[in-house]
């Protein structure tokens, strides 16, 4: 840190002395209230009093925008001034500071989205009492730890209520809390159960399920006790919520499986907007709604394959001559597809014929079968509403259907001899998951991918360089940057200049740390579990992903309702202030992450 970057202690501010005013350009300084008090006043005249130790100017540090509040001393006070350049150095040198700022970013994103998200009106609008497990299994606080464990084991449950002599709830005992008392604190198995009772978060039986889901997500809770007047009625777990939503999905899956022709499937695919709207209404988290919508896309496409195989058999074509795996890639493999994904698919063909162990190339008959299958599949999916991929990343294209050994050879060559083209290819392909066929082929290819990256990491640097060609849609002073392309002029490409950058960074990190998951959120959680990314960093990125998915899904649903083709372009002028702020802060979090990816993996 240079001498000019050193913090400068400032003392002697008098009562009512102004530190900065609304609308003034930021001074590139973070203020720390070291002693005394400061009042912050907004445009509406409302004021908040801050005491030592408080930070002032964080909004300007994050957003490079003029001050949105007026700060003035409330009596004599002393400030420490830290130049923004010094704060950036401290972020790099002290991960704890970077984590604290990431936590603040996540809070800001969620504060913005909470203002414009509506309550669920679908499955999660039902009252808690409809989904809870009742009655709540309880034991008096005077029971022993051994009795509690034996009861949990006998009932096959992971928690129980602890009550007093009047059956009022004391708390919740779980397998984890019992283990802590017995193994960590070395308490006697005869110790009273009340010693293992943890504070229980309670919810009214008449509260909506979406409110329960929001509490569980916000407070990282697995269980909520449903209680009325301190009397426990039942338990609401995350599994209860999942089952409530899954019931609707099961009905959809059954309808898909009953279709017998492509025309039947087309009629069902026409209901995609309705399915998307119901998923959005049934979930407070946009990512869960998008996952449900992606699963419906996958069900439609799997059924399309099954109908095609029946069609081929009716024409006298034998069953597939070899094992194969049909892959999906990109957003559908990550379970992040919205209303109108295009086709991104590929084909792995087994190296050996049935009953043989030695690999052999495809003969003419085998090649014709797979060429016919892939070509018809892409045409059928196009007829179903999945557009032809403009880059021809489809199974019918020769480079996208190969034998397993050929795929392995490509991975080996790309990792040993990386370049820009191979990096771009890897950024497209390495989100692959099974759509239909032999899961063993997919697992074998993923093993080859992870082994190759464990031995040769240089391709990650080229992938990071390829990612750096795109940037979040933020310009000077964190102004939203709109597209100049004709079809998107004046709007923000929220996928290309936001979500894709986050997905790319997570892919690079995941491959660099042997993470097999493909979904963006799943990769983030796996990296957190491994200690690669801190909980606060992951939290800020999860919040950003949720905000962008929510904005984009709501945008596409509005377009479809108006009879327009859904796209990925958001008009800033169409957003209210809270939505715009959530978008800006989310892109800011993604830009910070992209900078980190470049710092760790960049050329």
Nearest one of 123, 436, 435 to 249, comparing CA atoms: 123
The alpha carbons of the chain give a radius of gyration, in whole angstroms, of: 28
**pLDDT, tens only, 80-110:** 888 888 887 877 777 777 767 776 777 666 6
Instruction: Give the sheet arrangement for strand 47-51, strand by strand.
Output: 18-20, 70-73, 37-41, 47-51
Q: What's the pLDDT at 484?
A: 81
Q: How far apart are CA 308 and CA 318, in angstroms?
A: 13
CB proximity list for 220: less than 8 A, separation 6 or greater: none
**pLDDT, tens only, 7-60:** 455 556 888 889 888 888 878 888 888 888 888 887 777 777 878 777 787 776
Q: What's the pLDDT at 123?
A: 61
Q: Is the dihedral of CA 566, 572, 578, 581 positive or negative?
A: positive
Q: Which two tokens stand for residue 151?
A: 């009861």
Q: What's the pLDDT at 7?
A: 45
User: Which stretches within 513-576 are classed as H helix?
Assistant: 520-529, 535-561
List the chain residues with pLDDT less than 50: 1-7, 115-121
**pLDDT, tens only, 420-439:** 999 999 999 999 999 999 99
Q: What's the pLDDT at 122?
A: 54
Q: Which two tokens stand for residue 475?
A: 């310009």
Q: How far apart are CA 254 and CA 256, in angstroms?
A: 5
**What pTM did the predictor assign?**
0.73
């Amino acid at each position: 840190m240079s001498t000019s970057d050193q913090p400068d202690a400032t003392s002697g501010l008098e009562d009512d002395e102004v530190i900065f005013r609304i609308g003034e350009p930021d001074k590139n300084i973070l203020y720390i209230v070291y002693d005394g008090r400061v009042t912050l006043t907004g445009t509406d005249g409302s004021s908040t009093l801050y005491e030592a130790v408080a930070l002032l100017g964080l909004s300007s540090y994050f957003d490079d925008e003029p001050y949105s509040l007026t700060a003035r001393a409330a009596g004599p006070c002393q400030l420490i001034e830290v130049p923004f350049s010094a704060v950036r150095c401290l972020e790099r040198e002290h991960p704890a500071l970077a984590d604290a700022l990431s936590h603040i970013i996540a809070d800001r994103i969620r504060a913005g989205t909470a203002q414009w998200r509506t309550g669920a009106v679908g499955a999660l609008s039902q009252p808690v009492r409809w989904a809870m497990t009742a009655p709540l299994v309880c034991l008096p606080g005077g029971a022993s730890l051994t009795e509690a464990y034996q009861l949990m084991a006998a009932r096959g449950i992971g928690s129980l209520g602890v009550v007093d002599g009047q059956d009022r709830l004391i708390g919740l005992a779980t397998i984890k809390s019992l283990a802590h008392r017995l193994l960590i604190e070395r308490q006697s198995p005869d110790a009273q159960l009340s010693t293992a009772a943890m504070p229980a978060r309670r919810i009214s039986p008449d509260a909506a399920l979406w409110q329960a889901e929001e509490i569980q997500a916000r407070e990282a809770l697995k269980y909520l006790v449903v209680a009325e007047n301190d009397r426990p009625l039942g338990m609401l777990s995350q599994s209860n919520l999942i089952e409530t939503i899954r019931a609707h999905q099961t009905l959809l899956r059954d309808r898909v499986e009953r279709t017998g022709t492509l025309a039947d499937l087309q009629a069902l695919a026409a209901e995609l907007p309705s399915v998307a709207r119901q998923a959005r209404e049934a979930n407070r988290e946009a990512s869960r709604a998008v996952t449900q919508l992606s699963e419906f896309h996958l069900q439609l496409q799997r059924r399309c394959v099954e109908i095609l195989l029946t069609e081929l058999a009716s024409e006298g074509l034998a069953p597939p001559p070899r094992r194969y795996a049909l892959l999906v890639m990109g957003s559908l493999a990550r379970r992040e597809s919205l209303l109108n994904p295009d086709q991104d698919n590929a084909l792995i063909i087994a190296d050996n014929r049935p009953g043989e162990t030695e690999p052999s190339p495809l003969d003419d008959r085998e090649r014709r079968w797979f060429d016919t299958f892939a070509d018809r599949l892409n045409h059928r999916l196009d007829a179903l509403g999945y557009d032809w991929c403009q880059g021809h990343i489809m199974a019918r294209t020769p480079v996208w259907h190969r034998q397993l050994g050929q795929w392995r050879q490509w991975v080996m060559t790309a990792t040993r001899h990386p370049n820009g083209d191979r990096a771009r290819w890897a950024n497209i392909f390495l989100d692959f998951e099974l759509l239909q066929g032999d899961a063993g082929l997919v697992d074998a290819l993923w093993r080859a991918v992870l082994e190759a990256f464990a031995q040769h990491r240089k391709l990650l640097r080229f992938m990071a360089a390829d990612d750096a060609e795109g940037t979040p849609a933020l310009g000077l002073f964190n102004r939203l940057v709109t597209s100049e392309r004709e079809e998107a002029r004046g709007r923000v490409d929220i996928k290309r200049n936001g979500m894709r950058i986050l997905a790319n960074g997570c892919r690079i990190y995941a491959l660099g740390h042997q993470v097999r998951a493909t979904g963006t959120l799943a990769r983030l959680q796996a990296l957190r579990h491994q200690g690669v990314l801190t909980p606060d960093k992951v939290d800020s990125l999860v919040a950003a992903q949720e905000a962008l998915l929510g904005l984009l899904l709501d945008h596409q649903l509005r377009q479809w309702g108006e009879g327009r083709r859904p796209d990925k372009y958001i008009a800033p002028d169409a957003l209210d202030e809270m939505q715009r702020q959530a978008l800006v802060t989310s892109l800011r979090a993604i830009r910070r992450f992209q900078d980190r990816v470049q710092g760790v993996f960049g050329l």
